[in-house]
Structure 1
Amino acid sequence: MRPDDWHLTEDVTEFLAYTGEFLRSRPVLHIMPLTVTARVRTSGATAHGTQAPVFGRLERAGEVLATFHRLPARGLGLTPLTSEQASTLAAHLAALGHSLPYVSADDHTATAFAKAWQRHTGATPTLRDRLRLYRLGTLTPPDPLPPGRGRLVGERDREHLMCWCREFAADVGETVVIDSDSWPGTRFADKRYTFWESPDGTPVSMAGMNPVVAGQIQIDPVYTPARLRGRGYAAAVTVEVSRAALAEGATAVVLFANAANATSNALYQRIGYFPVTDFAVYDFAHAEPEASGWLAGCVTDDRCSRVTVTETHSAPLRRVEGSSGAASRRGRRG
């Protein structure tokens, strides 16, 4: 595998022109790059920081084999790679002089890349998270459900919603400012939320769902305040929002859970979700911010315009927050 098999660009439209069919061929496994690229297309590259996002594709003989993406100040997100492919990419990015705060991918790919990055840069990888990707099979509501009902979150709930999103972010280790001014630029803003309310109308749990991408909907986040956990509210609100996703015509409904949290994993399986694969997130020590753009020094090809019942739940690639996200520090809480 040669380094020049990797083609880099800052243009999301160009990237998707070459990789869209590949990403849609396995939409569940590729949920993160599909979500990130959809957000960049909607919000624009400048919404994610002063530097442009960067996207890459591995292509041989006209066939796309893998992709990566990175938003400013974020880590690297990868589709599945062989160990050889991961090593070639690590060597290529290191040779261009770039640094990475973390990598997120399926477990094999993330581990292979973390080892390769250490070999090529000396940066020490530390496992931060193992997350399990689930897909909904047959939705099976708990019987009985906890007292109360589901309700769509409206504009009048904005302050309550922002408060819970702040609490959720703090629980999973995200650095994020969430207030009335910053809200539109956070990754939380483009979701549709549901509250589970107690019989007296008090919200006791929430779940969000992302917009449809490639026919599928990701449930994220799921959150229950600590004082209200262990009462079945997370299961109830997850069922409610999963049902709403199916009603929208989603061909697949997915979510991530902390792989180490036996209780939440059992909960999701009881209500009809089945595991697809595990993801891992590795932080890299001593990563310094790059002094110039991601593509500095990159030679482009002629097709590139440039070159625990813990009940908190989130998705890979959440750490420093400005708009779209990176992996949570401890998985999900509901």
Structure 2
Amino acid sequence: MGSGGGPNGPQGEGGWRLSGSLEEFLAVAGVYLRSRPALHTVALTVSDALGRRGLDLYGDEPPRFGWRAVSGEVDAVLLWTPPFVPMVVGGDAAAARGLARVLAGGGGLVPGGVGGPVEQARAFAGEWARTTGQATRRTFRKRLYRLGTLHRPALPPGRARSAGEGDRATLERWHDGFAADVGATVGLCAGAWVDAGLARGGIRLWEDGGRPVAMAVATLPVAGSVRVTTVYTPPALRGRGYAGAVTADLSARVTAGGDEAVLFTDLANPVSNGLYRGLGYEPLAEFEEYAFAAGPDGEAR
């Protein structure tokens, strides 16, 4: 996939333009992304991290960016940071199908899947299957929540505190434990993930009896929104209220700073969905991810 042309350059199918330039992407699509910061939380935080820490943040393969404009207004965005699958942000089914055709005919890096809001992800996967003959398989369903009124739970023994350098070994183990639980990487290797979290002061721990027993992590605020992520309790300590306590503490800190708090859950996990609803998080949207593989079945499912 090449640079594709900027806002005044060649236009792809369905009005899509592709670029390898983060600066161009944000200049053209930044206002659109910031117009709905909760829905666009991942694209905002990832592009912010790329700008602060470099385009090689997630790997050696450079990121790809794209946008679709209708009557001069951006209404859909592509953010692709290999080795992760492309993300379709906004738009509709027609926009997603057009993007699938553009990437299928781009002659460059081939995506191994796609992620996005349910309608767009399904449309992209279906068009990819039709165009390429590859089989597609849904691998993940998640729900985005936004905090309404925080309902503090009954607190277990212990207290909340910020993580420090002395917690590094624990945090690295918990990073890997969380990744194993959700069946995916957190985005960075354990050491780099801890470095970034400690540097921004974004890792909050619940401590009981002088030892950490649970964690929750906050992204840096972008466009007035903060994503709570990587909520984790080691298996032997679950069911004691630690995750709810540390998430409530972190959520209160986020909103006290004037930002909104959002988070994702795995729809296959009723425990976490019930926990966050109990804290006052309200469903906002649902997302899916698909993996692509060569095979005779060309239908999305």
Q: TM-score, normalised by structure 1?
A: 0.79
Which structure's residues are more often strand, by fraction? 2
- In the other structure, the counterpart of 1:236 is 245
Tell whether the 8 Å contact from 1:191 to 1:211 is kept in structure 2 after alignment.
no
Relative to 1, partners in 2 of residues 1:191 and 1:278: Cα closer, same or farther, differing over 3 Å? farther
The answer as to 2:63 corresponding to 1:53 is yes
- In the other structure, the counterpart of 1:37 is 47
- In the other structure, the counterpart of 1:75 is 85
Letter aligned with residue 125 of structure 1 = T
Matches within 5 A, 1:287-302: none
The answer as to 2:287 corresponding to 1:279 is yes
Letter aligned with residue 205 of structure 1 = A
> Can you list the C-alpha shifts for 1:24-75, whole angstroms capped at 9, x where unaligned?
1111111111111101101111333333211000013311111011012221
Q: Any stretches of 5+ residues in structure 1 without a counterpart?
A: 288-334
Question: Secondary structure of the residue that 2:49 maps to in structure 1?
Answer: helix
Q: TM-score, normalised by structure 2?
A: 0.88
Relative to 1, partners in 2 of residues 1:241 and 1:186: Cα closer, same or farther, differing over 3 Å? closer
Tell whether the 8 Å contact from 2:66 to 2:77 is kept in structure 1 after alignment.
yes
Which structure's residues are more often helix, by fraction? 2
Tell whether the 8 Å contact from 2:159 to 2:206 is kept in structure 1 after alignment.
yes
Instruction: Return the alpha-carbon distance in structure 2 between the equivalents of residues 138 and 148 of structure 1.
Output: 24
Question: Secondary structure of the residue that 2:116 maps to in structure 1?
Answer: strand
Give the number of the structure with larger relative contact order, counting CA–CA contacts within 8 Å between residues 6 or more apart.
Answer: 1
- In the other structure, the counterpart of 1:19 is 29
Letter aligned with residue 115 of structure 1 = G
Tell whether the 8 Å contact from 1:191 to 1:208 is kept in structure 2 after alignment.
no
Relative to 1, partners in 2 of residues 1:271 and 1:197: Cα closer, same or farther, differing over 3 Å? same
* Aligned match for 1:262, one of 270, 274, 280: 270
* Aligned match for 2:223, one of 206, 214, 219: 214
* Aligned match for 1:102, one of 100, 103, 113: 113
The answer as to 2:169 corresponding to 1:132 is no
> Can you list the C-alpha shifts for 1:96-115, whole angstroms capped at 9, x where unaligned?
13421121111111111111
Tell whether the 8 Å contact from 1:195 to 1:207 is kept in structure 2 after alignment.
yes
Instruction: Return the alpha-carbon distance in structure 2 between the equivalents of residues 209 and 245 of structure 1.
Output: 8
Letter aligned with residue 161 of structure 1 = L
- Deviation at 1:243? 1.0
Relative to 1, partners in 2 of residues 1:188 and 1:37: Cα closer, same or farther, differing over 3 Å? farther
The answer as to 2:127 corresponding to 1:116 is yes
Tell whether the 8 Å contact from 2:175 to 2:190 is kept in structure 1 after alignment.
no
Moved more, 186-195 or 16-25: 186-195
Question: Secondary structure of the residue that 1:99 maps to in structure 2?
Answer: coil
Q: Any stretches of 5+ residues in structure 2 without a counterpart?
A: 1-10, 296-301
- In the other structure, the counterpart of 2:5 is none
Question: Secondary structure of the residue that 1:231 maps to in structure 2?
Answer: coil
- Deviation at 1:179? 5.4
Instruction: Return the alpha-carbon distance in structure 2 between the equivalents of residues 35 and 136 of structure 1.
Output: 18
Instruction: Return the alpha-carbon distance in structure 1 between the equivalents of residues 74 and 236 of structure 2.
Output: 48
Instruction: Return the alpha-carbon distance in structure 2 between the equivalents of residues 247 and 258 of structure 1.
Output: 27
Instruction: Return the alpha-carbon distance in structure 1 between the equivalents of residues 133 and 54 of structure 2.
Output: 34
Instruction: Return the alpha-carbon distance in structure 2 between the equivalents of residues 50 and 262 of structure 1.
Output: 37
Question: Secondary structure of the residue that 1:124 maps to in structure 2?
Answer: strand
Matches within 5 A, 1:76-91: 76-91=86-101
Instruction: Return the alpha-carbon distance in structure 2 between the equivalents of residues 179 and 58 of structure 1.
Output: 35
Identity of aligned residues (%): 41
Letter aligned with residue 41 of structure 1 = G
Question: Secondary structure of the residue that 2:44 maps to in structure 1?
Answer: helix
Cα root mean square deviation, aligned: 2.2
Tell whether the 8 Å contact from 1:165 to 1:188 is kept in structure 2 after alignment.
no
Letter aligned with residue 76 of structure 1 = P
Instruction: Return the alpha-carbon distance in structure 2 between the equivalents of residues 99 and 127 of structure 1.
Output: 18
Instruction: Return the alpha-carbon distance in structure 2 between the equivalents of residues 112 and 41 of structure 1.
Output: 30
Relative to 1, partners in 2 of residues 1:274 and 1:167: Cα closer, same or farther, differing over 3 Å? same
Letter aligned with residue 123 of structure 1 = Q
- Deviation at 1:5? 1.3
Question: Secondary structure of the residue that 1:47 maps to in structure 2?
Answer: coil
